[in-house]
A and B are shown apart, each in its own frame.
Chain A
Amino acid sequence: MSAPSPSPISHLPSPAAGGAARLTDILRFNTCGSVDDGKSTLIGRLLYDSKSLMEDQLEALERSADITGGGQVNLANLTDGLRAEREQGITIDVAYRYFATPRRKFIIADTPGHIQYTRNMVTGASAANLSIVLVDARLGVIEQSRRHTYLASLLRIPHLVVAVNKMDLVGWSEARFNEIRAEFEKFLPRLDIKDVKFIPISALNGDNVVDASVNTPWYPGPTLLHHLETVHIGSDWNLNGFRLPVQWVNRPNNPTDPRLHDFRGFSGQIAGGIVRPGQKVMVLPGGQVTTVKEIWTYDGSVAEAFCPQSITLLLADDIDVSRGNMIIGQNHLPGSSSDLLANVCWMHQRPLVAGKKCWLKHTTHNVQVAVTALNHRLDISTFETLPAPAELALNDIGEIRLRTASPIFFDGYETNRLTGSFILIEQGTHATVAAGMLLPPREVVRPDATDFVI
């Protein structure tokens, strides 16, 4: 017989109990590299040395090594989660991994190096704070390295690490490291990456990954993990122009609490800037101007909220607002147009041709769109543009022109990743066929309410 069961509902944990909660932030990064440059080994090393690999995971690795790997443990099996991947020894899709140190939590988007490369890297890197480009010290800068770096620049990933791997195979040569660095520095000025760090490593042996290497006395910089732990990411969100794309209208139905009878809140995640009660705001597309009455949250009203917090705004006036509308502040006005220019990454087998109609999802707003012109295709190896292509094929990147059924309110992607990005959804199949990055608006929104702009 089993012992008497404990009572089904526990007592609330005491808030004061135990040690202080750890205050750490999250760094999201992606790793890019080609097939044999040691990407899986590097991730395995980071997970292993930070004690994020568990015994049963190692056991499962060994089990699969006995069956398929001829007894050789393959760290790639950690990230290759699907049967087809293990069978074919390839990575099909973006895999996410998690590990933590006392200073920070990390989300790794592990993007495969060959098949569907661009599509996967765009997916994995879109939310990243930092991108690691792996270079094989023996091979130096190859076409893939240039492509990875260019994509990181196009996606406006704020921080880049060039990890020069397999340094043990070039005799820990400082000259070789400097040569590779110089090769990068030749093309970096043509791109737009503000923060680049070069680190000589050996993922296999662990040099400069977690622990500083005795083999690189000439390298004064941080180890890879130390850099990941300390790189400043506080300013990666846009705090300049207030933007609240309305996700959901919060209107209690027959509330018992009389104070909620007139409650009409606009819920969403702040996509830019800061908001405070008493502040003047405008509702788009209507252009009505009103004041923020209250910033409501489940944990109580707050005196201030900022990007990317999720909040519910109460407004002073009764204005018609629905999902897909945007509430904005007075400064740094967004653009407004139905004629848009954007760089897109095409993600579908059927190529994009001019005239195609799709759904466009921008913030919380869904609108019909027609692609009116293909302006150019980018060669991401040479950074050259090829004007007026007939089509954009799977994994191509190019600049296109679009016309939306009604205007959208947006920022250039370079100013704000949240209000400057969109996806295209194919009608009928509903497949996500493109990721788009808007070029800066040619004119800002022109409010009809004259008291709004000074």
Chain B
Amino acid sequence: MSDYHLDHLQYLETEAIHVMREVAGEFERPALLFSGGKDSICLLRLAEKAFRPSDLPLPLLNVDTGHHFPELNTFRDARAKELGAKLIIRRVEDAIASGFATPAPGEVSRNRLQIPTLLAAIDEFRFECCIGGARRDEEKSRAKERFFSFRDSFGQWDPKNQRPEIWNLYNGRLNPGENMRVFPLSNWTEQDVWEYIRREQLAVPSIYFSHHRTCVRRGGQWLPVNDIVPPKPNEDVRALVVRVRTIGDIISTGLVESPADSVDDIIVEIAAARVTERGSRADDKSSEAAMEDRKKAGYF
């Protein structure tokens, strides 16, 4: 009987493939949110496992904040091309120009502004369902998230009124204008993601690995020096050996000093880590309910 046994990655994989195929079975116009980050890289491999040898039955969608790491966008475009997948990019810049998104006075971050941009893209293509790479272990309001996360016609998440999710039976029914966000990696941890990347030999953007970079000390973190918010004269600027652990905008993603230059090294580093992955994201630290508030407003 011991032959009929799945290890943890095989279990997480079959669960995620099942979720992907339920999306293909229950929705006419789904999309997959692909940023080029490690979680969405796993999503793409799972989509291949779910749907090959057919073409992927859903396009890839990315909201480009204009503050992305250039390495990430290059990777994103190359990977989509390699898979023969359709890649749709909608830019916060364009949403601001067309009036869908309005920055507050002095608002530099694009974090909030990607919400109306995403919602406008969902409207434009009439996507009923977006698959995302969010994981429950990332953040505590996400710990309460469903695999099939229902959003009302404003894209809002109502955590107090979620559909109960029982066994592996997902309720994908919607009324016009309503929307579903689906998270096949719900039960994955950061460790699982990297172990899966190793097992599947998946390529990832080089910024996940140790490299030399000029960094500026800001808000207790090392941020990459960039043109959007250049260092002020009194700020501490140093050349460091760093890598990214999680990728957000270039103006808010903290870099960790690390010699890890292979997937194996990263797995060892995470196993010993004493800070969570999102500990390096300023956007989540701003208040205890920061993520919950963004999700209620339509963030994925």
Per the bound structure, the CA–CA distance linking A5 and B72 in Å amounts to 12
In the complex, are the beta carbons of A297 and B49 less than 8 A apart?
yes
B275: min CB distance to chain A, Å? 5
- A residues 400-454 near B (Cβ < 8 Å) are 417-418, 421-423, 425, 430-432, 435
Complexed CA–CA distance, A250 and B13 (Å): 19
Give the segment of A80-88, A160-168, A328-336 that binds chain B: A80-88
Interface pair B167/A9, CB less than 8 Å apart: no
Q: Are A15 and B201 in contact, CB atoms less than 8 angstroms apart?
A: yes
Asked whether B141 lies within 8 Å of A82 as measured between CB atoms, the reply is: yes
Asked if residues A421 and B276 are in contact (CB atoms below 8 Å), the reply is no
Whether A309 touches B6, Cβ cut-off 8 Å, given contacts A10-B204, A64-B288, A93-B144, is: yes
Binds B, one of A96-104, A184-192, A220-228: A96-104
Whether A175 is near chain B, meaning CB under 8 Å from some CB there, is: no
Q: Is the CB of A8 within 8 A of B205?
A: yes
CB–CB A252/B165 < 8 A: no
Chain A nearest CB from B292 CB (Å) reads 6
Contact: A421 with B14, CB < 8 Å?
Answer: no
Contact B25 A248 (CB under 8 A): yes
Contacts of B137 on A, CB cut-off 8 Å?
97-98
| Contact, CB under 8 Å: B14 / A92 | no
- Whether, in the assembled complex, A57 has its beta carbon less than 8 Å from a beta carbon of chain B, the answer is yes
B-side contacts of A54, CB under 8 Å: 273-276, 279
- Bound complex: CA A92 to CA B160 (Å): 7
Please give me the residue from chain A that is nearest to B195 by CB atom: A21
Q: Find out whether the CB atom of B205 lies under 8 angstroms from the CB atom of A96.
A: no
Q: Which residues of B contact A252 (CB under 8 A)?
A: 53-55
Q: Which of A286-345 contact B (CB under 8 A)?
A: 296-299, 306-310, 323
Q: Which residues of A contact B206 (CB under 8 A)?
A: 6-10
Interface centre among B164, B174, B211, B273 (most CB of A within 10 A): B164
Residues in chain B near residue A9, CB distance under 8 A: 74-75, 78, 203, 205-206
Is B213's CB under 8 angstroms from A306's CB? no
Closest to A80 in B: B140
Least CB distance from B145 to A in Å reads 8
Contact, CB under 8 Å: A298 / B275: no
Flag if A234 contacts B204 (CB, 8 Å).
Answer: no
The reply to whether A96 and B48 contact each other, CB–CB distance below 8 Å, is no
Residues from chain B with Cβ under 8 Å of A6 in the complex = 71, 206-207, 209, 211
Residues of A within 8 A of B140 (CB): 78-81, 95
B-contact 0/1 string along A249-272, CB 8 Å cutoff: 011110101001001000111000
Measured between beta carbons, the chain A residues less than 8 angstroms from B86 are none
A55 within 8 A of B: yes
Known A19-B264, A54-B279, A98-B136; judge A423-B169 contact (CB<8 A).
yes
User: How far apart are the CA atoms of A123 and B145 in the complex, in Å?
Assistant: 13
Q: Would you call A253 and B143 a contact (CB within 8 A)? A: no
Q: Which residues of A contact B212 (CB under 8 A)?
A: 3
Distance, CA A120 to CA B166, complexed state (A): 10
Please, which residues of chain A bring their CB within 8 A of the CB of B52? 298
Q: How far is the CA of A268 from the CA of B53 in the complex (A)?
A: 14
- A21, B199: Cβ atoms under 8 Å? yes
The answer to whether the Cβ of A122 comes within 8 Å of any Cβ in the partner chain is: yes
Which listed residue, A17, A56, A247, touches B264 by the CB 8 Å rule? Answer: A17
Shortest CB-to-CB span from A112 to chain B, Å, is 11
Q: Contacts A364-B25, A425-B171 given: A8-B74 contact, CB under 8 Å?
A: yes
For B224, list chain A residues within 8 Å (CB): 2
- Inter-chain CA distance A417–B167, complex, in Å, is 8
Query: Which residues on the B side are within 8 Å of A82 (C-beta)?
Result: 141, 144, 159-160, 289, 292
A122 with B164: in contact, given A82-B144, A364-B25 (CB under 8 Å)? yes
User: Are B144 and A8 in contact, CB atoms less than 8 angstroms apart?
Assistant: no
A18 touches B167 (CB 8 A): no
Flag whether A139 is at the interface (Cβ < 8 A).
no
- Closest chain B residue to A68, Cβ basis: B288
Inter-subunit contact B4/A250 (CB<8 Å): no
Partner of A96, one of B1, B187, B274: B187
Contact A310–B51 (Cβ < 8 Å): no
Does the CB pair A248–B164 fall under 8 Å?
no
Q: Which 7 A-B pairs give the minimum distances between C-beta atoms?
A: A18-B264, A81-B140, A8-B74, A56-B279, A430-B173, A310-B17, A13-B263
Residues of B within 8 A of A (CB): 1-2, 4-8, 10-15, 17-18, 21-22, 24-25, 48-55, 70-71, 74-75, 78, 136-137, 139-144, 159-160, 162-169, 171, 173-175, 186-187, 189, 191-192, 195, 197-199, 201-209, 211-214, 224-226, 239, 262-264, 267, 273-276, 279, 288-289, 292
Can you offer 11 A-B residue contacts whose CB atoms are under 8 A?
Answer: A1-B214, A2-B225, A26-B12, A81-B142, A95-B144, A98-B137, A248-B51, A250-B54, A252-B55, A362-B169, A425-B171
Interfacial residues, chain A to chain B (CB-CB below 8 A): 1-3, 5-13, 15, 17-19, 21-26, 54-57, 60, 63-64, 78-84, 86, 92-98, 100, 104-105, 107, 119-120, 122-123, 126-127, 234-235, 237, 239, 247-248, 250-253, 255, 257, 260, 263, 267-269, 274, 296-299, 306-310, 323, 347, 359, 361-362, 364, 417-418, 421-423, 425, 430-432, 435
Give 13 A-B pairs besides A10-B209, A18-B264 with Cβ atoms closer than 8 angstroms. A6-B207, A21-B199, A23-B7, A24-B8, A81-B143, A93-B162, A247-B25, A253-B55, A269-B17, A308-B6, A323-B25, A425-B171, A430-B171
